[in-house]
């Protein structure tokens, strides 16, 4: 059965129709590549799945039951984690503070609850080690390299036992070695039965890890097929519109 | 493996000493000390107990509001209404007590006024999306005008049955001979420092100033926190107003005029970053101290009071410049 199912999802911002009547389902342990030109509506789509935006119409079903998410916290409670396109990091905070942003660990009982710095540093350090990143928990994000910043954003998805991980261009602006690390992570997630949605403009990444590709053009879904039955040429054609739909 | 993990977890970017030397607050503190020492030698009147008493009292009113202002500035906002809110809250207290109500009712009315004003500012800024500068500039005008309406623009100096209690609250020294306003400032500074460093709320205040859209995307309740910081800012102005009323023993509709600049200056000189994302409670206090020492010394040195604005303005520019230079050095 599908872990997550989108039915006739649309989203408009005023007069702009960012996502138009998109439906698809995600299976457990599946890696889905989401492709499309700039402005095709990919980020808007995953933000709706992560509780950042409410769909204008349509419904989202998890394990067959409809879920309505008003806030990112609710998506996380449903086991949906996201790496945002611009990483969504606060430069003035430490790596650990960014990893735990919005779900800080605390000690004590209400109303006397204080931040649990040692646990957050330790957990963040463990996740960075697992991601094979050089990032140190106490360092300020301001002073970090592109790859380290990416690691901080990805580390957020490892805080809970996620069922679905959405990655919005996680391999933009990082080195070849680190791209390989991210792709390895995606494979490890898949082996644990976690569903991954990967948005990328890099065709090789897609063909390296994805089981299925979904192509969007100007807000609509124009293709949804197994990667083994497609080719980079076909996907490119679908993105640009040279191939209408399949 | 485990030891390298521990090392990575424990590793800090700066040693304790280098982080102190890079902190603006530390250097402002040194400036306060040096200026005080120089003034003690240069004049007979600086190091007298009467003058020090005056200085510490004056520092407290600016410092208490600078604590609230620091929270607002950390989120990347500004609150220009604090001087007028101080006046309004003082006047509400005065009028209510003058009408024969107890000090408890007077203070409750005053604090409630502050919270309502702050919530109003915060609502317009967070939920309607108006710029903080404009909203609080409007409130600067509204609050003082309401104070005039409430009092009929008269001076209030009789505070009903609890008159003496109010004067003791502001003018007394209940703990170990420390003047009450100083005591309140210390307690509020410790509280603010604690909230900023040890609570989730404090963490979120910094996150909003660092990157508001990132805070929103990760599920920080940005709007609610913004409303809260403007309420806290107004509350700090209200508390300063209550204490100042007790200390002065009279309220006019001029009280707190122009105070917003002094308070913002204190916060900025103490290291709060007007672009958002940085600031400390200790910095706010030390910034307020420097401003008061400058003001006081000009008087004692016989320099025309007209120069005061130039010196305080110069200190603000210097503080911002210091911040820029320190950042520049770190980035090279
Ligand atoms: N918060 C918003 N308010 C108004 N319009 C928006 C908003 N977010 C996205 N849009 C619009 O929706 C459309 C789709 O944007 P989206 O970010 O989803 O594209 P994308 O496929 O992720 O593109 P890219 O590859 O450049 O990241 C664009 O026209 C964009 O301008
Ligand atoms: Mg995008």
* CATH classification of the domain holding A25: 3.40.50.300
Average pLDDT over residues A16-37: 95
Interchain contact, A88 vs B278, CB within 8 Å: no
In a domain, B40, yes or no: no
Q: Which residues surround ligand 2, an ion (CB under 5 A)?
A: A 43, 85
Helix residue spans in B211-280 (DSSP H): 212-217, 222-248, 259-269
The atom of ligand 1 lying closest to the CA of A42 is 21
Question: How many whole angstroms from its chain centre is CA B159?
Answer: 26
In a domain, B76, yes or no: yes
Which ligand places an atom closest to the C-alpha of A168? 2
**Cα B12 to Cα A236: distance, rounded to the nearest angstrom:** 46
In a domain, A190, yes or no: yes
B197, B214, B219 ranked by CB distance to A90: nearest:
B214
Say if B327 is an interface residue toward chain A (CB within 8 Å): no
B257 neighbors A138 (Cβ within 8 angstroms): no
B70 neighbors B280 (Cβ within 8 angstroms): yes
> Strands A220-226 and A164-168: what pairing?
unpaired
Interchain contact, A126 vs B215, CB within 8 Å: no
A141 neighbors A95 (Cβ within 8 angstroms): yes
**Angle at alpha carbon of residue B291, lines to B287 and B293, rounded to 5°:** 115
Interchain contact, A156 vs B12, CB within 8 Å: no
Say if B11 is an interface residue toward chain A (CB within 8 Å): yes
In a domain, A165, yes or no: yes
Closest C-alpha among A70, A80, A13, A67 to residue A41: A13
Helix (H) or strand (E) holding B296: helix B281-300
Could you tell me the two tokens for B266?
């204190």
In a domain, B14, yes or no: no
**Cα B78 to Cα B62: distance, rounded to the nearest angstrom:** 16
In a domain, B2, yes or no: no
- Which residue in chain A has the smallest CA separation from B207? A90
> Strands A195-199 and A164-168: what pairing?
parallel
Helix (H) or strand (E) holding A164: strand A164-168
Is pLDDT of A8 > 60? yes
In a domain, B297, yes or no: yes
In a domain, B279, yes or no: yes
Burial A172-182 (b: 16+ CB within 10 A, else e): bebeeebbebb
Per-residue pLDDT of chain B (332 residues; tens, 9 = 90+): 466 777 777 777 777 777 777 788 898 899 899 989 998 888 888 888 888 888 888 899 999 999 999 999 999 999 999 999 999 999 999 999 999 999 999 999 999 999 999 999 999 999 999 999 999 999 999 999 999 999 998 999 999 999 999 999 998 888 887 889 999 999 999 999 999 999 999 999 999 999 999 999 999 999 999 999 999 999 999 999 999 999 999 999 999 998 999 999 999 999 999 899 999 999 999 999 999 998 888 888 888 888 888 988 888 888 888 777 766 665 54
Distances from the Cα of B35 to the Cα of B287, B290, B292, B302, B305, angstroms: 13, 9, 11, 16, 18
In a domain, A226, yes or no: yes
pLDDT of residue B332: 47
Distances from the Cα of B193 to the Cα of B53, B97, B186, B277, B283, angstroms: 25, 33, 10, 15, 10
Q: Which residues of A touch B215 (CB under 8 A)?
A: 90, 101-102
pLDDT of residue B172: 85
In a domain, A222, yes or no: yes
Closest C-alpha among B90, B100, B75, B81 to residue B277: B75
- Closest residue CA from atom 6 of ligand 1: A13
Q: Which residues of A touch B218 (CB under 8 A)?
A: 72, 88, 101-102, 156
In a domain, B13, yes or no: no
Interchain contact, A52 vs B198, CB within 8 Å: no
* CATH classification of the domain holding B204: 1.10.3470
Average pLDDT over residues A206-215: 94
The verdict on whether omega for the bond into residue B109 sits within 30 degrees of 0, i.e. cis, is no
In a domain, B18, yes or no: no
Q: Read off the DSSP letter of residue B238.
A: H
Interchain contact, B11 vs A102, CB within 8 Å: no
Residue B157 belongs to domain spanning: 48-331
In a domain, A128, yes or no: no
ipTM for this prediction: 0.92
**Cα B199 to Cα B232: distance, rounded to the nearest angstrom:** 15
More confidently predicted of B163 and A245: B163
A113 min Cα distance to partner chain B (Å): 7
B93 neighbors B109 (Cβ within 8 angstroms): yes
- Which residue in chain A has the smallest CA separation from B208? A90
Residue A198 belongs to domain spanning: 4-89+161-240
Question: How many domains does chain B fold into?
Answer: 1
Question: How many domains does chain A fold into?
Answer: 1
B9, B13, B203 ranked by CB distance to A121: nearest:
B9
In a domain, A34, yes or no: yes
The atom of ligand 1 lying closest to the CA of A47 is 18
A71, A76, A90 ranked by CB distance to B207: nearest:
A90
Q: Which residues of A touch B328 (CB under 8 A)?
A: none
Could you tell me the two tokens for B139?
């409130």
Distances from the Cα of B102 to the Cα of A212, B92, B160, B238, B303, angstroms: 74, 13, 8, 18, 44
Beta carbon of A13 within 6 Å of any ligand 1 atom: yes
Polymer length in residues for chain A: 246
Is pLDDT of A210 > 80? yes
Which ligand places an atom closest to the C-alpha of A22? 1
Phi/psi of residue A223, nearest 5 degrees: -155, 150
Interchain contact, A90 vs B210, CB within 8 Å: yes
B268 neighbors B119 (Cβ within 8 angstroms): no
């Amino acid at each position: 059965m599908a872990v997550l199912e989108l039915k006739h999802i649309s989203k408009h911002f005023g007069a702009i129709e960012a996502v138009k009547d998109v439906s698809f389902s995600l299976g457990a342990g599946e890696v889905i590549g989401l492709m499309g030109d700039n402005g095709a509506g990919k980020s808007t789509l995953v933000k709706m799945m992560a509780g950042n935006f409410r769909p204008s119409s349509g419904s989202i079903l998890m394990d067959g039951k409809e879920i309505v998410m008003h806030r990112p916290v609710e998506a996380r409670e449903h086991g949906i984690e996201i790496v945002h396109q611009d990483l969504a990091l606060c430069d003035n905070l430490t790596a650990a503070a960014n990893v735990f942003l919005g779900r800080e660990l605390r000690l004590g009982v209400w109303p006397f609850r204080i931040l649990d710095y040692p646990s957050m540093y330790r957990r963040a350090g463990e996740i960075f080690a697992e991601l094979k990143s050089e990032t140190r928990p106490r360092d300020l994000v301001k002073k970090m390299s592109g790859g380290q910043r990416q690691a901080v954003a990805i580390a957020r998805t490892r805080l809970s036992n996620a069922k679905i991980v959405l990655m919005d261009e996680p391999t933009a602006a990082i080195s070849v070695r680190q791209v390989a690390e991210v792709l390895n992570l995606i494979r490890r997630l898949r082996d644990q039965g976690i569903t991954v949605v990967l948005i990328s403009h890099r065709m090789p990444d897609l063909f390296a890890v994805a089981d299925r590709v979904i192509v969007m053009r100007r807000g609509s879904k124009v293709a949804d097929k197994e990667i083994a039955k497609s080719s980079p040429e076909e996907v490119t054609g679908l993105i640009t519109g040279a191939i209408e739909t399949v | 493996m485990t030891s390298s993990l521990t090392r990575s977890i424990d590793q800090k970017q700066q040693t304790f000493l280098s982080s102190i030397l890079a902190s603006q607050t530390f250097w402002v503190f040194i400036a306060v000390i040096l200026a005080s020492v120089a003034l003690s030698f240069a004049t007979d009147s600086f190091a007298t107990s009467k003058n020090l008493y005056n200085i510490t009292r004056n520092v407290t009113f600016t410092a208490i509001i600078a604590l609230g202002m620091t929270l607002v500035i950390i989120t990347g906002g500004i609150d220009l209404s604090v001087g007028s809110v101080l006046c309004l809250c003082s006047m509400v207290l005065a009028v209510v007590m003058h009408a024969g109500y107890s000090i408890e009712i007077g203070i409750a009315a005053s604090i409630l006024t502050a919270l309502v004003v702050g919530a109003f500012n915060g609502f317009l800024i967070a939920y309607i999306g108006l710029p903080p500068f404009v909203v609080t500039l409007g409130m600067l005008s509204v609050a003082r005008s309401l104070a005039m309406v409430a009092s009929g623009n008269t001076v209030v100096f009789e505070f009903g049955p609890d008159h003496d209690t109010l004067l003791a609250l502001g003018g007394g020294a209940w703990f170990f001979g420390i003047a009450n306003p100083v005591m309140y400032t210390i307690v509020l500074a410790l509280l603010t420092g604690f909230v900023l460093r040890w609570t989730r709320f404090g963490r979120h205040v910094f996150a909003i100033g660092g990157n508001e859209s990132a805070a929103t995307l990760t599920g920080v309740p940005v709007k609610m926190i913004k409303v809260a910081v403007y309420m806290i800012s107004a509350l700090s102005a209200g508390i300063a107003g209550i204490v100042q009323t007790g200390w002065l023993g009279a309220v006019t509709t001029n009280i707190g005029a122009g105070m917003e600049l002094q308070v913002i200056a204190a916060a900025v000189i103490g290291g709060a970053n007007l672009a958002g994302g940085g600031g400390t409670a200790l910095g706010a206090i030390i910034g307020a101290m420097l401003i008061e020492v400058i003001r006081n010394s000009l008087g004692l040195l016989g320099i025309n009071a007209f120069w005061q604005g130039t010196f305080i303005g110069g200190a603000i520019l210097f503080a911002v410049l210091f911040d820029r230079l320190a950042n520049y050095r770190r980035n090279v």
